[in-house]
Chains A and B, each alone.
Chain A
């Protein structure tokens, strides 16, 4: 659930837009580079964007007695890195802001910052660290997607608490209030998103082994679970693919 249209004071809305813009611009360049050097990745890019589309359209009931929706940004961040996800997430947010009156144009910058920037980075960071410490692929994917989902809504809570501090208790009081609305509601949904991302990744390991090898999600040594350093591995694989 994103910040609704007009619900951030103009100064905050502008500040978040300025903060988000460089990430999205950088993302667009990363995306064009990826498509140009690996035209065959277009399909999987489309599938990652589609996953975000599906998940952010599903409003699911949660333990707090309210509804929210997952974000689906963890998968693309793990596959293609966060900059590319910044673009795909922004497209999803634009669709919802323009056609569904969900989120908004004035709050787009803030919503992009939470869902398309912090979420993917938190998800990818969690995934990368877990893989670094030798966690199995699917465990890392689950917690990566979980972190991407939950962190998005923690950021939303912070953004609103900054804009609307509690008259008595200030920022902390408002953060507790918005946190109980967004972050708490999101916990079971983040578990669901983690499980769904694991499901899609399982299907991908069966259907698209070559792509996952090239992207460094699977490593060449065993064909599956050994967590080789992603950065080095993906470089080698690109060369291998070029040959």
Chain B
């Protein structure tokens, strides 16, 4: 198989965007082409979860490839729930690695704020089992709430630990002009103050408002190419070196150990093995913190910390911007936002910026190896990616 490099990368702001889904997809593509210095591609993948349901637009990739005047390049829409973005990157990687294509554009785009928050939550809840979960009113926040309660009971994670994730990621988001939330918060303000029950109400007990990511619109694009093409462009050589994916039971209640996220563990293991690196080699990581608890648990399951000790690493400051292993320098889903289909591509964009040394005020010094974890369903379909800067 051939080696695959990221030659161009861009994103829109993740926020509320007042333009159509196809344009949310097209803008970052135009900027990524400019970034790469190319005007033609061989193939386009567009990751999107809700176009058909939320925006009344299906066949998004066909609309976008034409809008960008890139026809007759092949184009496909990829749907894998909230992990659609990393899934599309995986497809792009396969296309270049196999030799089928030389330059592949991978876009992630979502426009969720066209509907109200309740409808958006209900749309994402259609990921759950229709007869054994959805009918009860189960939503992703409720699955996360039940998971958090068990994790607290078993490993001693507290509401303060969760708030520390939110505080850290809001802080990082403040350094990211493209993030949805530019709102510094403190543990005292959202947990201890007399106003905490008003400014940080419960969403799915024990998870509160500031434990949950915002509902965002947004798009991101990464262009992948073979080594030969990448060298000609004279850009920093950022290799997509490891790709991993694993699945788990559709219903959370069917898992033998409900505090395990086996798909995260499996996907990460593959992504590290393929890249030939260990979790301890990673300099910067973007983990899928749709809920604050997930950053803690994923940091354990991917192998950065021992099971049940992620919250201790957080306490020590290991995952802060200045820590040993900064996590979610972009602000994460919590601060940067979570336009579901775009999230995985947005994560890759942040890692590419970090490895190029282009992350501005949130730059991690000498970052050479980056990692992303994109979490679909409630952990039933997870895609992890490892990126390495070669020179």
Partners in one complex: no
List A residues at the B interface (Cβ < 8 Å). Answer: none
List B residues at the A interface (Cβ < 8 Å). Answer: none
